[in-house]
Chain A
Amino acid sequence: MEDMTIIEFETFLVELDKNIAKLKSLAAREGDTAASNEAKQLTKERAQLVEKFFRKLTAWDKVLLARHKDRPYTLDYVAALCDDFLELHGDRAFGDDGAVVGGFARMAGRSLMLIGQQKGRDLKERQRRNFGYMKPEGYRKALRLMEMAERFSRPVLTFIDTPGADPNVPSEQRGISEAIARNLREMSVLKTPTVAVVVGEGGSGGALGLAVADRVLMLEHSFYSVIAPEGCASILYRDATRGADAAKAMRVTAQDALELGLVDEIIPEPLGGAHLDVTTTAENLERVVTKHLDDLTALPMGELLEQRGKRLRALGKFEISVDRWRTAG
């Protein structure tokens, strides 16, 4: 059990549940009290095992949970949270990027601009959404919507869930670097409250391109990283399969980011992960996001921008010293 990843553990639970179900049906069919007791005992032990496993999740487990095939995506949260969502399309220059959705949303009695990275559920949708890798037109669509939100005094809420920006030839041709850079610059001075939530994978600059905000929140089992753990492993250990070691070394979990002072709050997930209970996860998300939006919308615009600027200016860990790294002796 100690060495299992979360995915192996889930497979183990499926087997365990089958056994429990068998015992239960045996008990029901033949009034077998021994079977009934064993089922009860196993059910109890199961709960303990789950709790124990989730108390000691590794950084790599978090990565796997964030990438879990059943992990809720932006549109799942939209369905759970929004009374109305009017999706808008296109960057007005080249195309419409399926890897990001955005539009007018009504959430908890509030109108806001909701923009989120979106992966696909089945192969066809995954391809259409480019596995969540945004292209330049995606960042430009997002910026168009954010600037519209600014004009109509609506807060911006972004959901982050991407392995990274699309690195292929057409994206380089259309200026993927410029598109991300421009978003960073414009989001840093956007005249409306902004909240970003990492709901799954926070993959490098591709994630940051939608995540410069007044408040940055993370779901409990999401991760946020400067480079994919596998990419780091292939540089550091010359072995891409050592992603688990790299994830630990880079401290990619939500809890790490909170300790490093890079995010404001962690949104709890139900035991076992968001995919087991989307409704509860969405409720937690709404509660925390609403609290932060309430705080932010109460601020005068000048103060909001000043706070954001100070926050961005203060990012980083350094000290004042000319000989901090002078070799001893």
Chain B
Amino acid sequence: MPDWFKRSKSPEVPEGAFVKCTGCNAILVTKDFERDNKVCPRCAYHHPLSANERIAMLTDEDSFVEFGNDIAATDPLTFPGYAQKLTAGHSEETGRNDGLVTGRASINSRPVVLAISDFQWGRLAGTMGSVFGEKFAVAADVALAENRPLITFCASGGARMQEGLVSLMQMAKTSHAVAKLRDANIPYIVVLTHPSTGGAVASYASLGDVIYAEPGATVALSGERVAAQAQTHKVPANYRTAEFALEHGMIDRVVHRRDIQSYITRTLLFMQSPSK
């Protein structure tokens, strides 16, 4: 007698063949999801990208040459748990010293300097410590010396409290680096991705000649918890998002991830080509 009630064995599904969209819970085929740069085709939710994924998406093939990865944190305050996080970050497959990735590259054959934040690195939320500040400053120095535009992708929880006041000073350091680019008429483009908050947006990330942002990205000075505690005013539905920042004149445009390369190229073309 056939066993009607016995469940037939489910077909083999390779591990990781599907992913669930964080935005709408749709089940997506991983291969398509990655081809779409991790943007959901149904709801356009922009999932987080690692720095390497962004570089692959943005730059001409094999054009990216990293620098500054020999700059390492020192845990100046011997802050509880910080050394473990740095070690964990270092042991990730990239073997990097920090979440900010800097290097030379070309985008549609235009030479640029990149400074790209990796939110996940070391579970440190893309925070700005001394290494972040130094790598950003070196990137600006290279941009200045070689007359290349500086392009940064921000994804940050703000200053890195594990380095105390030293990390707050990275806001001053990066803003000064931007001042030098501004005074030398070197193009500086910022792309705000989820989340761009705290000390990052209160410094270098709000100072772009042109500022783009990914749809739905959190863009705000205060973190979610602080914001919830502080509110004494009616909170708009799109509060603390890229769209809110656009509405209030703080950024130039909200740009879908698939279009960002083209926007950057057009921006640089406008800034750099002869006017006649």
Contact = CB atoms under 8 A, between A and B. Distances in A.
Interface of A: 165, 167-178, 180-182, 184-186, 188-189, 204-205, 208-209, 212, 224-227, 231-232, 234-236, 249-252, 256-257, 260, 262, 309, 312-313, 315-327
Given A181-B206, A236-B81, 17 more contacts: A167-B222, A168-B232, A169-B231, A175-B249, A181-B207, A185-B176, A204-B199, A205-B202, A225-B164, A227-B159, A235-B161, A251-B164, A257-B165, A262-B166, A319-B74, A321-B72, A324-B97
A172 B239 contact: yes
Contacts of A327: 87, 90-91
B176 A188 contact: yes
Interface of B: 69-74, 76-77, 79-81, 83, 86-87, 89-91, 97, 129-131, 133-134, 137, 159-161, 163-173, 175-180, 182-183, 198-199, 201-207, 220-222, 225-227, 230-236, 239-240, 244, 248-250
A256 B168 CA distance: 14
A256 B71 CA distance: 24
A313 B159 contact: no
B173 A172 contact: no
Nearest to A188: B176
A328 to B, nearest CB: 9
A326 B240 contact: no
A177 B201 contact: yes
The secondary-structure label for the interface of chain B is helix
B90 A325 contact: yes
A198 B175 CA distance: 21
Contacts of A232: 161
Nearest to B130: A316
Contact of A262 (B169, B221, B240): B169
Given A168-B230, A235-B161, A186 B169 contact: no
A270 to B, nearest CB: 25
Contacts of A326: 87, 90-91
Given A208-B172, A318-B72, A321-B72, A181 B239 contact: no
A-B pairs with lowest CB-CB distance, top 10: A316-B130, A184-B175, A188-B176, A324-B72, A167-B222, A325-B90, A181-B206, A177-B201, A317-B76, A169-B233
Contact of A226 (B76, B159, B230): B159
16 contacts: A168-B232, A204-B199, A212-B175, A224-B168, A226-B160, A226-B199, A236-B80, A260-B164, A262-B169, A316-B166, A317-B74, A318-B130, A324-B73, A325-B86, A326-B87, A327-B87
A109 to B, nearest CB: 31
Given A165-B221, A167-B221, A315-B173, A251 B165 contact: yes
Contact of A227 (B161, B172, B207): B161
B179 A186 contact: yes
A242 B172 CA distance: 29
A39 to B, nearest CB: 45
Contact of A184 (B83, B91, B203, B227): B203
A173 B235 CA distance: 11
Contacts of B173: 312-313, 315-316
Nearest to A166: B230
Contacts of B220: 172, 177
A205 B73 CA distance: 22
A260 B161 contact: no
Contacts of B79: 249-250
